[in-house]
Every structure is written in C-alpha cells, then in structure tokens.
Structure 1
Amino acid sequence: MSFSMASKFNCLIFYFVFSSDGVLPNGLNVVKFSAMHEFQNIHAISKQKIHDFVRGHFYGHYDFDLDNTLYFFTAGRYEYSNKGVDMFIESLARLNQKLKAMKSKTTVVAFIIMPAATHSYTIEALKGHSIAKQLRDTVTEIQNRIGNRLSEMTARYTGEIGTEVPDPSTLLSSEDKILLKRRVFALKWNSRLSLTTWLTIAQTLYVAPNTSWK
C-alpha cells in the first residue's frame, strides 16, 4: 500500500511515525514558470477560454461585465455529502449577500468540478456554445467586411477637405445589420439557466414502456 502527502512539510512532521512514498502538491505549481511573461501569457490564454465558456453557458442570461468578474473553483470527490463543497457553497451564499448589500457590480462565477459517470453534454450547453460561436463568427465576418470597405474608401481619397476619414455610418451595410440582428435575437432564452453542463448516467435512465417499478 502506498501513502502520499500534500507537502514536504507534512512529510517532516510524520517522518518518525511513517514515511510517505511521494509528495502530491495540494495546489498549483507556479514555480516551473521561471519567466513572469510566460506565466502571464498562459494565464491570459486560459482566462480567455473561461470567458468563451461563460459566454456560451450564460447565453440569454449574459448581462454582466467579464472584466469585472471573479472566477472561483473547487474540486473534489463525487460523494453524497462533501464537507468541502458544502462550505464552498455556504461561503458563496454569504459573499452574495455582502455583494448585494454593497450594491457591488462585481459578478462571481463559481465552478464545482467533480469526476462522475457522464453520458453526454446537456442540450442547453451544446445549444448555448453553438449560438455563441455563430455570433463570434458573424462578428468576425462583419469586421473583415468593414476593414475592406475602410481600406477601399481611404484609398479613394481625392484631397477634399473633410473626407480624410470615412463616415462611420457608411461602414456597416444594411446586410450586416440584418445578419447581426438575427444573431442577437437568437441569444434570447427565457428558460431557467442550467447548473450543469453534463448529463450523468443516472439522468439518462428511463423506464421502458409497459414496465413499472415495484
């Protein structure tokens, strides 16, 4: 049987009782990123991935500023009762009350990560990310069109005073507006927000026809 510790300090404490087979750090190892800019780049990329997930998951309910949003995480075993998760949820409830009392504009998004037997993504999760991706693709397409129009208009500058910079209202065509409105209207969603992104095996069980539970 093997035995591990969460830190070298714990190994020293229990050295005279029993020695551990290894150390499994209880946290993130940021020491390996020797260069600060490397760590910052990885942090920015990872945060952008979380931003993309939040935009898709909260579609239809997305009315907060991501630049003023805090992300909290916890992870643990999938158990009937998890003391750490219970404390995490209780702490979030108290924090929520304080933020409301302060009338703070800060939004907190909390992730509870647990391994469990899953079947597939929920329909709501797939739909949300699909709609968010369509919006991003449409905006990118419109950006390219605006860039081409801006380049063409500035290239045709004849020296007339007041025409050095194209009129911004001429950069967005009626076709672009219709396409953008269509994507924005697709974001409307009146149902309750799903708390999970996966369907567990238990959620996919069903009773076959002509079968009754006893």
Structure 2
Amino acid sequence: LKIKEVNVPTVFTTHATMLGRAMASRGDMSFLAGGIDPDQKAYEYGVAAKHQMEKTVAREADVFTTVSDVLAQEVKVILGREPDIITLNALDFETLPKQDELLVLNAKYRKKVDEFIRAYFIPYYPIDVKNYPIVFTAGRYEFENKGYDIFIDALGELNKRLKNSKRIVIVFLWVPRGTIAPKDEVVNNFLVYDRLKELLDSEWEVIKENIITKLSLGKNIEKSEIIPNKILSEFKSSFERIRSKRGLAPPVCAFELSSNEDEDPIVKRLKENGLENREEDSVKVIFYPVYLNREDELLGLNYREALMASSIGVMLSRYEPWGYMGQETAVYGNISIVTDYSGFGRFVQKNYKPDGESPVEVVRAVGRSREEIVKEVADILEKYVKMKKEKRKKLEIKAYEVAKLASWEEQIKNYIDSYNLAFERRKS
C-alpha cells in the first residue's frame, strides 16, 4: 500500500507472534526477558519468513496494537515496536446465556454428566455422584505448551493429599487427538447401565399399579406381590451384569487411540502420577480425546454444555497471549485457574481486586520453577475441592462478573481509538 501510495489508514493487530509461539512450544520463554536476537532465533526455529513478514507489517502500519499486556512485552522484543494501544480481546455477552439461565442449564447438563459418571465407574466400584466437583482442562494437544504436564503433576499431588479423606474429584481432559472408537469395555458398561435404566422405567408403572391396587382394596402389601418374581429376577440379573468388573479399575482413557496408548504423553503422565482410577484414588481421571458434540455416543454434550456442567477449569498454558478458554471457563459458571503467562490472567490481576476468595485464580508462573508452579496449582485445587459446596457455588456464580470485565461493551472503545489514531496519523 505504501509503495503504491494508497492513502488508506492501516492498523495491524497481532494476537501472537510466530517466533514466540515456536519458542514457547519447546519450553523456551527467554523472549519475555529480552536480550535475544529475534532474527537469528527465527532462523533457528524455522519461522524466518513469517517472522520477517510480521516484523515488516508491524513497522510499516500506521497504528500497531496487541491484545494484551503480556503480548505487548513480547512484541517489543520480537517485532521491535511497542504497541500504540492495547486492544484487549473480549466476548460479546449479548450472545451468551444470562446468569439466571446458566443456573438452570448447569443443573440440566450436570445431571447428564452424573449419568455418564455412574455408567463409567459403577461396574468397578460404588461412587457417590451427589457433591463431587468436576475439574477439567481442554485445548489443543500441545503437551507442555498447554501445561498438561503441570496439571497432571498437580493432580497427582492432590490425590496424595486427599488419601483417606473420602472425597471424590472427577477430572476430565478434553484434549482431542487421533482415535479409532470408544473402547469396547466402556461401550459395554454404558449398554448395561442403559438397559438397567430402561428396565426400571418400563416396569415402574406395573409396580406403581400394584401398590395403588392393594391400597385401594385395603389389603396388606407384600413385597412379592408388588414386584413380580420375573421382574425381580431380571433386576438381579442386571445388577450382577453392571457390577461385573468389581475389583478392577475403569480405564483412564475412554477411547481406543490411533497409536500405542502406552506411548501417549497424557496417559503416561497420568500413570506416572499414580492416577489410575483405583477405588482408593480420590482423584478420578477421564482422558476424553475427541471433540465434544451432542452426537457423541458417550457424553453427548458439546463443549459449552460441558463447561456449564463443570465446577473448576484449569488452563495452564505457557504461551497464551490472551486466553479465551480461561475467560469462557468463568463465563459459563466455573472457577477459572489460569497463569500470569496469559493475557486474561494479567488482565484479571490488573483489573479485579477480590474481597476474599477470587473466582479467577492467577497462578504465578513467570520466572518460577516447575516444582513451585505444581505446588501452587495443587494448593489451589485442594482449597476449592475441600471448600463447602455452597461457598464454591457462590464463587462459580461470581466468576461470570469477573469475566464480564472483558466484554466488547467495555473494550470496543480501544479499537475505535486505534482507528481514529490511524486516521490522524495518515492526515499528518
């Protein structure tokens, strides 16, 4: 445009840098401290052409903006220009459920998850689904970059701390990867469980009619007369089938993977931390490696519905210029745990001062050792898992208000300011 002398104001908004993402994917966060040669690093990481394109556009644009404070720090080092304005990412709350709707939807979808948990675990051992919190992480399969290693290690520590406490925590890892199909073992469990429910539903009318008839005739009610022997026998048979795997443990992964499960980084790390779904484990884990959708024959929820059924979301990315997933976690009524590597985390630190417990926890990760981060995440999870359900529910509701600080209604002015600045600079 400049070469052709086209008189059009230009604004370049970057949501990440190719070099920053490439370095972070290999655990190299040195760009945050500066003192690197970006051009040389781009060559080393194989992103030289894309890096030079970004650098040129950033230099030549009339106005340069980024979507968070943490990214502003990054582009100053990597692209060699400080942003003129921070144009924060945001959500359009007009398109999202209102808080009162969320409470209703939470109960609806939580009931569906409870059914899933019963079908998944009851064949192996009894499990109480009344009050347990649902903890989850989700995202692309970037094992270290997305912080799954930290999350699993923290879960392992939490499992040790909760030993003999009789507390139950259900953890989902919604991280898609190549799969073949749901495991036969899991499908069979669901078929047996569904058959038992169908039996109860179909025979309940007969049982109810028998009770009402006896009452109306003023006769004593005998158990054998209320429930016919044939139905009782079928009940017993179904109960035996659904308890057929007692003494074993449910699989940590619900699906057959397209490659060797024993070599999968998530499965390996779960087992290394002793997270194998034994009856004595307080932390029960389900690695669910497919994209969530309603047609799914097991869980049958899309991603947003699954969020609404949950309690605590953990997003520990090492590279997260904004972090919509951490914000969406809070929007849909969950306590959200993020890090100060994320733009949303930095935004919360800067703009929200809680009176007491915060529904959005920002883990201090920048400049700290791996062990320190794991411990802090485990501490936070332990706090919320042990918290009374009523108190935790209040925080889950409060999370919506924190997320709403970054709404388009609030943040659109920054974009308008950047366009106006581009016009002013073009005029001059």
Structure 2 counterpart of 1:109, from 156, 170, 182: 170
Shift of 1:68: 3.2
TM-score scaled by length of structure 2: 0.39
Structure 2 distance, partners of 1:134, 1:95, is 36
Q: Equivalent residues in 2 for 1:52-91 (5 A)?
A: 52-82=115-145, 84-91=147-154
The residue type equivalent to 1:199 in the other structure is: E
TM-score (norm 1): 0.73
Per-residue CA deviation, residues 96-131 of structure 1 (Å, 9 max, x unaligned), is 22211xx32221111111111222111112111111
**CA, structure 1 residues 59+65, in 2 after alignment: closer, same or farther (shift >3 Å)?**
closer
Secondary structure of 1:68's partner? coil
Distance, in Å, in 2 between the alignment partners of 1:130 and 1:31 is 37
Question: What is the alpha-carbon distance in structure 1 between the residues aligned to residue 84 and residue 67 of structure 2?
Answer: 9
Residue type at the aligned position of 2:124: H
Instruction: Say if 2:251 is the partner of 1:194.
Output: yes
CA contact (8 A) 2:68 2:87 kept: no
8 Å Cα contact 1:4/1:20 also seen in 2: no
Q: In the alignment, which residue of structure 2 is the partner of 1:23?
A: 89
For the structure 1 residues 18 and 175, does the alpha-carbon distance in structure 2 shift closer, same or farther, using more than 3 Å as the test?
farther
Would the alpha carbon gap of residues 20 and 53 (structure 1) be closer, same or farther in structure 2, given more than 3 Å must change? farther
User: Quick one: distance in 1 between partners of 2:258 and 2:133?
Assistant: 31
Tell me the distance in 1 between the aligned counterparts of 2:128 and 2:167.
Answer: 8
The Cα of 1:173 is off from its aligned counterpart by 2.1
Structure 1 residues 108 and 140: CA distance shift in structure 2, 3 A = same
Partner SS for 2:140: coil
Distance in 2 (CA, whole Å) between partners of 1:168 and 1:53 is: 31
**Counterparts of 1:106 and 1:78, CA distance in 2:** 29
Q: Partner letter of residue 104 of structure 2? A: N
The C-alpha deviation readout for 1:45-75, integer Å capped at 9, x for no partner, is 1111111111122242231211132211011
Provide the rounded CA distance (Å) in 1 between the counterparts of 2:254 and 2:104.
Answer: 27
What's the C-alpha RMSD, in Å, of the aligned pairs? Answer: 3.2
- 1:174 maps onto 2:229 in alignment: yes
CA distance in 2: counterparts of 1:125 and 1:3, whole angstroms? 44
On the 8 A contact 1:73/1:113 being kept in 2, the answer is yes
Aligned mates of 1:134, 1:39 — CA distance in 2: 31
Distance 1:156-1:89 versus aligned 2 partners, 3 A rule: same
Show structure 1 runs of 5+ residues with no match.
Answer: 158-162, 205-214
Amino acid at match of 1:55: R
Question: Aligned partners of 1:134 and 1:87: how far apart in 2?
Answer: 40
Equivalent pair of 1:75/1:114 in contact (CA under 8 Å): yes
For 2:156 and 2:136, the matched residues in 1 are separated by: 15
Instruction: Report what 1:138 is aligned to.
Output: 199
1:74 and 1:112 in contact (8 A); partners too: yes
Q: Size of the alignment, in residue pairs?
A: 188
